[in-house]
Amino acid sequence: MRVSCVRVLLLTFAVAPLGGWPGSAEAQVRLRDFVVTLGGSAESYSGNFSAVTLPVVDSTEHASAAVGEVAIRGTITLLRTQERSLQISFDGGMRQAAAFGFEVRDYAPREFVGSLSPQFTAALGSWGSLSLRGRYRGRSLEDRPPMPLFLQPGYSMLQGGVGVVTRSFDGISFDAQLDVEEADYRALELVPQLDLLDRKSAGVEAGIRWGTSSTIRVYGGARWAEYPKQGSFDPDDPFRRDRTARVGVEWTYVGDLFVQVGVDGTMNRSNGDRPEYDAVSGRAVLTAPLPAGFSLNAFAVLTTKSYLHETDDARLVPGEEADNASIAYLQVGRSLASNLDGAVRLGWTRAETNFGQAYYERFGVSVRANYRPLRR
Amino acid sequence: MIVAALVPGVAQGQSLEEQVIQRRLELQQAELEYQAARAAFTVVDRQFSTALNAVREARRSGDDEALELAHAQAQARSGPLSAQERRVEEVRQRFADARRALIDVLTQHLQQLVIEMGAAPTDLRRREIDAIYRDRLAELSRLESDEEQSTFRIDVALLPDIGFDPRDGPEELETKAELVEAYAAVVDTVIQEVDRRVGTLDERLRNERQRGDLLAAVGRFDDTNLPVGVATGPPQADAAADSTGVGNRPLTLEEQIEELTSYRAQLVAYREQILIKARTFRLRIRSVV
């Protein structure tokens, strides 16, 4: 949960492949699945939601934006044998929007994002495998617009984790992981509210999985989080601390179709009344081939929450306080050449609160091209 | 003890290790029978093709008597061909059953070895059992992989064992050339099967990549992190497709395609060698005549 924990994990990760593990290793540096993405989209936003971390306000309930983006991602495999593997995944991009419809002025938000995720995996004899994961993720945002055009603020995030997956025993395999995380939102001098989102957290999760092409995973876990800049309104314990329990089940089918459906329940308790809630979330991912070489991809998350304590506070902390939220994406894609895929994507998001009837909605249509220069 | 109670062979006094050996022998026997049946089928198929050629030839020459005779011969050979087809299918099924039986007993043996490993009195003994375990696991993976990819594989290192004999006359040389060409046709069929499998894998890979593209795109700019809602974290683009786990890890789709593409290139070169051999037979016919 402390920063030092994250660093110790990352250090362990860095040292492990150098000699901490037995077996003969062959270095096989290779760039895999390198993808260059270009995309353009039209987005519309509506809502009367206000957010505590967004001091800029505008009276409009409707805004729209034309958006262009460029991104790259890929994986560098440094080592890959039957016993061990070491790889670093990277992902970065820039997105520029021209936003219209605000009363005060038009905005031109520009986002830069990047992440670096090393992962080392080693066999644990014949029992299973151990993996060490790290992740740095950074984000910056210029000319952040007011609601209803919500864009996440800039932050830097450091994560580390260790996990174990066993081989199958009588058709059942077990997994467990521990992770730590530290997120630092970049508060500008005039926007100190962003610091409210700073957090440190640690979590454990364990699961069992059975099946082959059709698998079911049942899991449960707990997370402890501290928000050192958020008050709890308790003078004896002034800063917010949450404990979260989560249980869920996920079904995955891999065959001609890829289908993944999951549902999980979350119970969040805190040292303050305001953020205590119970939630149920459903998630689905579908990939299906269509005629003429087209494919359909869909992704959806639906969440409903129930707060334990009534509040009249209409100033919200992004990322938490609403009574339901829905995200859905639908994409139809096709290969245009052996190393070029094209896709049209529809995206829809909606969230509502019971108090004040506040809502937020986003709808977008985008056209994207994914180019794989290394593809044969 | 638990394993012993579950496995009939053990209850009858036969150890799992003995069962592994026995079923391995049964599998070898079934494989030999399968290869023999396929070889026999190739011969009968060639005879039937020759009869059909004779029919075509007779029809072209307008010789009614020859045509009737050729028809009769083709008719007579179609029966053995169907019978041989059924025989190949029966033997193939027995071969698959024998492989499945070995997989089952190997799986039970692995469970027993795990129990033995846990009860091993010394580290040395544990390592010994672990070594056996790894061997069995590798064998099991190989068998399961064979089961999944039951494509008929040809050993491209060996050319058909048909050679020149100084006593060969034109007819013998013609027969040998036809046999070699028939073998090339079998290789062609395997190439087509490999192409079909590569096509299927390519499509799966394309679909997986497009799903990965979607999930990477919606997670990249935090579009799944709303101003509200339970923080679910970005979707994992490769969670289900991840095949980077270690310890007899399965081949990724890319690796399977690479392997098949390489095998196809070998098959094409192999077929060329066979056809060169057939042409050499035919050249020899001219020199004999």
Chain B hits for A170, CB-CB cut-off 8 Å, are 111
On the CB side of A115, CA atoms within 13 Å amount to 21
Q: pLDDT, tens digit, for every residue of A73-127? A: 999 999 887 778 899 999 999 999 999 999 888 899 999 999 999 999 998 877 8
The arithmetic mean of pLDDT across residues B122-147, rounded, is 79
Does A303 reach chain B within 8 Å, measured CB to CB? yes
Phi, psi of A225 (to 5 degrees): -135, 145
Q: Which residue of B has its CA nearest to A294?
A: B207
- Angle, CA of A352, A357 and A359, to the nearest 5°: 35
Whether residue B255 has pLDDT greater than 90: no
Chain A hits for B231, CB-CB cut-off 8 Å, are 319-320
Cα distance between residue A104 and residue B97, in whole Å: 76
Rg (CA), chain B: 28
Cα distance between residue A374 and residue B150, in whole Å: 31
Q: DSSP E strands: which ranges in chain A? A: 27-47, 62-80, 84-100, 110-124, 128-142, 155-166, 172-185, 199-211, 214-231, 239-254, 258-270, 277-289, 294-307, 324-337, 340-352, 359-371
The arithmetic mean of pLDDT across residues B276-280, rounded, is 85
Whether residue A253 has pLDDT greater than 90: no
Question: Nearest CA to CA, how far is A8 from chain B (Å)?
Answer: 23
Residue A67: strand pairing partners:
A41, A97
Question: For chain B, first and last CA: distance in Å?
Answer: 75
Q: What is the pLDDT of residue A12?
A: 43
Whether residue B243 has pLDDT greater than 70: no
Cα distance between residue B241 and residue B235, in whole Å: 13
Whether residue A247 has pLDDT greater than 60: yes
Whether residue A66 has pLDDT greater than 80: yes
Interface of A with B in 210-229 (CB under 8 A): none
The arithmetic mean of pLDDT across residues A284-311, rounded, is 86
Q: What is the DSSP string of A57-114?
A: --S-SEEEEEEEEEEEEEEEEEEE-SSEEEEEEEEEEEEEEEEE--SS--B--EEEEE
Strands A84-100 and A128-142: unpaired
B contact set with A (CB within 8 A): 111, 114, 130, 133-134, 137, 203, 206-218, 220-232, 235, 240, 244-249, 254
Q: What is the pLDDT of residue A237?
A: 84
| Interface pTM, i.e. ipTM | 0.76
- Angle, CA of B199, B200 and B201, to the nearest 5°: 95
Q: What is the pLDDT of residue A175?
A: 93
Whether residue B37 has pLDDT greater than 70: yes
Does A147 reach chain B within 8 Å, measured CB to CB? yes
pTM, 2 dp: 0.65
Q: What is the DSSP string of A186-200?
A: ---TT-GGGGGG-EE
Question: Nearest CA to CA, how far is B1 from chain A (Å)?
Answer: 16
Range with the lowest mean pLDDT among A210-219, A354-363, B104-113, B246-255? B246-255
Considering only CB atoms, A49 lies closest to which of B225, B227, B249, namely B227
Considering only CB atoms, B246 lies closest to which of A93, A129, A320, namely A129
Chain A hits for B235, CB-CB cut-off 8 Å, are 285, 299
Q: Which two tokens stand for residue B37?
A: 């049946």
Higher-pLDDT residue of B73, B249? B73
Q: pLDDT, tens digit, for every residue of B68-111? A: 887 778 777 777 777 787 788 788 888 888 988 888 888 778 77
Q: What is the pLDDT of residue A109?
A: 93
What 3-state class would DSSP assign to A255?
coil
Higher-pLDDT residue of A206, A279? A206
Q: Where are the alpha helices (DSSP H) in B120-224?
A: 123-148, 170-220
Cα distance between residue A17 and residue B266, in whole Å: 36
The arithmetic mean of pLDDT across residues A288-307, rounded, is 87
* Mutate: best of A287, A306, A321, partner B, most B CBs <10 A: A287
Whether residue A335 has pLDDT greater than 80: yes
- What percent of chain B has a predicted confidence (pLDDT) above 70? 80
Cβ separation of B247 and A266 shorter than 8 Å? Answer: no
Q: What is the pLDDT of residue A69?
A: 96
